[in-house]
Amino acid sequence: MARRERSSRTTPLPRTVRVLLLARLVNRLGAFSLPFLTALISTGHGANLTTAGLVSAAFGLATIPSRLAGGHLADRIGRRTTILLGLGGCALAQLAIAAATSLLWTATAAVLLGLAFELYEPPSQAIIGESVPEQQRVRTFGLLGAALAAGGMGAGLLAALLGGADLRWLFAADAVSCLACALLLRLALPRDRPRHTHSQLPTTIRPLRDRALLTVLATGTAYALINQQTAVSLPLALARQGLPAADAGLLFTAAAVTTVLAQPLLRLPRFTRLGTPAALALAHLLLAAGQFGYAAVPSLPGMLAASAVSSLGDLLVLGRVYALVTDLAPPGGTGRYLAVFGTSWGVAATLAPVLGTQLLAHAGPTALWLTTASLCLLLAALHLRLTPGLRTLSPAPSSTPRSAIRTTLLG
Q: Looking at the domain assignment, is residue 38 inside a domain?
A: yes
**Cβ-Cβ contacts under 8 Å for 193 (sequence gap 6 or more):** 78
Q: Does residue 272 belong to any structural domain of this protein?
A: yes
Q: Into how many domains does the chain fold?
A: 1
Calpha distance 200→223 (Å, rounded)? 36
- For residue 271, the enclosing domain spans 14-193+207-410
d(CA 326, CA 339): 11
- Asked, for residue 289, whether it belongs to a domain, the answer is yes
The CA-atom distances, in angstroms, between 404 and each of 114, 219, 389, 395, 399 are 36, 20, 7, 10, 8
pTM: 0.77
CATH number at residue 249: 1.20.1250.20
In a domain, residue 3? The reply is no
Cβ 234 vs Cβ 352: under 8 Å: no
Q: According to the model, what pLDDT value does residue 127 have? A: 85
pLDDT tens digit at each of 411 positions of the chain: 444 445 445 577 888 888 888 888 877 776 667 777 878 888 777 778 778 878 888 888 898 899 889 888 887 788 889 999 999 999 999 999 989 888 899 999 999 999 998 898 888 888 888 888 877 787 888 888 888 877 767 766 777 777 666 778 888 888 988 998 899 888 888 887 765 544 445 557 778 888 888 888 999 999 999 998 888 788 888 888 777 777 787 888 888 888 888 888 777 777 777 777 888 889 999 999 999 999 888 788 888 999 999 998 998 888 888 888 888 888 777 888 888 998 888 888 778 877 888 888 888 888 889 999 999 999 999 988 876 454 344 433 333 444 444 433 433
CA–CA separation, 149 and 151 (whole Å): 5
Question: Taking a C-beta distance cutoff of 8 angstroms, is the pair 23, 123 a contact?
Answer: no
Q: Is 120 exposed, middle or buried (0-12, 13-18, 19+ CB in 10 A)?
A: buried
User: What local confidence, expressed as pLDDT, does residue 1 receive?
Assistant: 45
Return the H-helix or E-strand segment holding 347: helix 334-362
Identify the burial level of 318 via C-beta atoms within 10 angstroms of its C-beta, where 0-12 means exposed, 13-18 middle and 19 or more buried.
buried
Residue 4 lies in a domain: no
Cβ(93)–Cβ(116) under 8 Å? yes
Q: Cα–Cα distance between 296 and 292 in angstroms, integer?
A: 6
The answer to the question of residue 9 being in a domain is: no
- Read off the pLDDT of residues 129-145 as tens digits, 9 standing for 90 and up: 888 887 778 788 888 88
DSSP 8-state symbol, 299? S
Q: Judge whether 8 lies within some domain.
A: no
Distance CA 278, CA 391 (A): 9
pLDDT at residue 275, rounded to an integer? 78
Find the length of the chain: 411
Task: Decide: 106 and 41 in contact? Cβ < 8 Å.
Answer: yes
CA distance 231 to 32: 10
- Write down the pLDDT at residue 406: 46
The pLDDT of residue 203: 55
pLDDT of residue 16: 86
Amino acid at 269: P
CA distance 46 to 52: 9
pLDDT for the residue 375: 94
310/304 Cα distance (integer angstroms): 10
Q: How far apart are CA 363 and CA 355, in angstroms?
A: 11
Q: Is 132 left (phi over 0), alpha (psi -120 to 50) or beta?
A: beta
Q: Let me know: does 83 contact 124? Beta carbons within 8 Å.
A: yes
Q: Is residue 198 part of a domain?
A: no
